[in-house]
Amino acid sequence: MRKTHGGLMLGACIAALSAATVAQQAAAQQAEPKRGGTVFVHMNTEQGVLNPALRASTGVYQITGRFMEPLIDKTYDGYVGVLATEWSSSEDGKAITFKLRDGVRWHDGEAFSCDDVAFSAMELWKPLLNYSSTLQANLESVDCPDPLTAVFNYSEPMPLDLIVAAMPDLGHPVPRHLYEGTDILKNPHNQAPVGTGPFKFQEYERGQYIIGVRNDDYWRGPEYPYLDRVIWRFIPDKAAGAAALEAGELHESGFNGISMADLERLGKDPRFDMGTQGFENNVAHSTVEFNLRNPILADLKVRQAIYHGLDLDFAINTIMRGFAKPGHGPIPSVGGANYTDDVPVYEYDVEKAKALLDEAGYPVGPDGIRFKLRHRPAPWGEYTQLWGEYFAQAMKEIGIQVDLVTNDAPGFLNGVYRDHDFDTANGWHQFRSDPAVSTTVWLRSGAPVGTAWSNQFGYESAEMDGLIDAAAEELDPAKRADLYHQIQRLAMTDLPVIFAIEHPFVGITNKKLINHHNTPRWDSSSWYDLWIDE
């Protein structure tokens, strides 16, 4: 009970903090924006490919978001058109029409038109872009009845909700005139992007920095963007990143770029805004994943017992410092209509866990142990490493010995997804706006062995597969949502994986920046209205 209290208080404290942030921002917004200045952004890892139409990952968007714009973006007021202005679906759902924005020019001066969209969709989004190739598998052609209208033709019905939700991440056109007739994967513009965004790419010095400069010909008008330059600095060491923020050499670090301890410490410094605002679209689950090929774990009672043995409030408050909440299955609470909390839950109850294990036929042995598990914690950073260690401790309480097998990223992905050489694993599953983009593939059977973030559990359920397939083609939003609610309930009943905790990323920003984190995917967006008060 005491712990729950602590959680509530911390939650209230965070709410108060973010209210203060919003108030401050509102006050600043009334001030007249200043033109000019350079913003320095922290990056942990290098990006070899700077083309969001070839690599769907936040590390890429964090940079290319300034240069290249999607057809549609997500704001706190819902989906708004960027390069598209309107979208609609035909009656049978097999044709999706986008009206494109007039008067947009690429950074090299050429006009943006439907030709670019059609080329990008057929040559990049469908065959080459991760996740998008599944989404666009049924895309047959893109017609351009006029230069500002693009019609996507599908062989099977495509829900409009799904394609719209996917567009902010998976809908970046590239300039056709620079890519057509070239080897797309080796095109030099993959490292020197040409887009339509408020900033133009200038220079990429590997291992050091990327410089973007103001686009004077931006379609939103000559007043935008306010900044002269955006510079990204690659600082892999988290402690060094924190020191650079503190010394004023960096203005922003997103996606947990520095350690939670430093985020908490600098968050108390009046010079910084710290929190999850602006990351709502990038919610991930910390998970516990079972290998159902292990006869012990194939027993549902054992999996339920493990769920009951996890003190989620404790983990949320110590590992994520309160910036998280318990999960309710594969779809996080930011999933909109497709999310439901009407699912079976497994509250923290050590006695119940022990009773379930006894019932399943695994009594405590003479050494105090019921059975052993080989556990692989994913190396995706601070949360996954600590969550793996917590899991091992929590299991000890209910008599399960967990041996941790640590490895780097290639080792983990091979061990878990290809070789299935694990009993349990813990990792990280990111939600990408709509469950059909990358969530349901995790629960559906039939993916080739070795595919990362596909069904590594050995979970096969005809009911689950049927629900997933039906939802992917359901056009009626209400029926679609209902199917996803059923999927969540089934996942929480069968428990091939525990979606234990959901958390957005945490970021830290120098308060000199005004209009920061004002959209739910701000670090991936264009920053046309960002300005610096100095």
Partner 1 sequence: MSLLLYLLRRLLQALPVILLIIVGSFLLIKLAPGDTVDALVGDMGGADPAFVARLRQEYGLDQPVLVQLWRYLVKLAQLDLGWSYVYEQPVTQVLASRLWVTLLLMLGALSSAFVVGVALGAFAARRAYSAADNIISTLGLVFYAMPSFFLALLLVLLFSVKLNWLPVGGIRDIGAFHTGWRLWLDIATHLLMPTLALSLIYLAFYMRLMRTSVLEVMDLDFVRTARAKGAGSSRLMFHHIMRNALLPVITLLGLQISTVLGGSVVIETIFSLPGLGQLAYTSVVKRDLNTLMGIIFLCSIIVVVVNILTDLVYAWLDPRIELK
User: Which residues would be at the binding site for partner 1 (CB under 8 A)?
Assistant: 38, 40, 45-46, 48-49, 55-59, 128-131, 133-134, 185, 190-191, 205-209, 211, 229, 231, 233-237, 239-240, 243-244, 246-247, 249, 380, 407-415, 430, 438, 441, 447-448, 450-454
* Those residues with Cβ within 8 angstroms of residue 16's Cβ, 6 or more apart along the chain or in another chain: none
| Residue with Cβ nearer partner 1 (50 or 357) | 50
> Shortest approach of partner 1 to residue 201 CB, angstroms?
14
Least Å distance, CB 381 to partner 1, is 11
With a CB cutoff of 8 Å and minimum separation 6, the contacts of 347 are 308
Burial (Cβ within 10 Å: 0-12, 13-18, ≥19) of residue 413: buried
By beta-carbon proximity to partner 1, the closer residue of 18 and 191 is 191
Report how far residue 19's alpha carbon sits from residue 13's, in angstroms, rounded to the nearest whole number. 10
Residue indicated by tokens 């774990």: 297
Where do the DSSP E strands lie in 378-456? 400-404, 424-426, 428-430
- DSSP-derived letter for residue 441 is G
Strands of 147-239 (E only): list them: 149-154, 199-205, 209-214, 229-234
Strands 252-253 and 38-43: parallel
Given the complex with partner 1, which of 407 and 486 has the nearer CB atom?
A: 407
> In angstroms, what is the minimal distance from the CB of 40 to partner 1?
7
**Nearest residue (CB) to partner 1, 354 versus 444:** 444
Q: Which is nearer to partner 1, 366 or 448 (CB)?
A: 448
Q: Which is nearer to partner 1, 360 or 405 (CB)?
A: 405
What's the token pair of residue 483? 């199917």
Backbone angles phi, psi at 192, to 5 degrees: -140, 75
Strand ranges (DSSP E) for 76-182?
Answer: 78-81, 84-89, 95-100, 139-146, 149-154
- Alpha carbons within 13 angstroms on the beta-carbon side of residue 169 total 26
Please name the residues in contact with 267: beta carbons below 8 A apart, sequence gap of 6 or more.
Answer: 17, 274, 275, 508
- Residue 527 CB, shortest distance to partner 1, in Å, is 17
Sign of the CA dihedral running 432, 434, 440, 446: negative
Minimum distance from CB of 188 to partner 1 (Å)?
Answer: 9
- 48: DSSP letter: S
- Name the phi and psi angles at 81, rounded to 5: -75, 140
d(CA 120, CA 102): 18
**Shortest separation between residue 467's beta carbon and partner 1, angstroms:** 21
Site of tokens 């080989």: 374
| Residue 225, preceding peptide bond in cis (omega within 30° of 0) | yes
- For partner 1, the closer of residues 362 and 422 by Cβ is 422
Q: Judged by CB, which is closer to partner 1: 10, or 128?
A: 128
Min separation Cβ 61 and partner 1, Å: 11
Least distance to partner 1, CB of residue 42, Å? 10
Closer to partner 1 by CB, 49 or 355: give it.
49
Asked if 306 and 354 count as a contact pair (C-beta separation under 8 A), the reply is: no
Q: Which residues pair with 510 in a beta bridge?
A: 272
Complex with partner 1: residue 304 or 510, whichever CB lies closer: 510
In angstroms, what is the minimal distance from the CB of 455 to partner 1? 12
- Provide, rounded to whole angstroms, the least separation between the CB of residue 431 and partner 1: 11
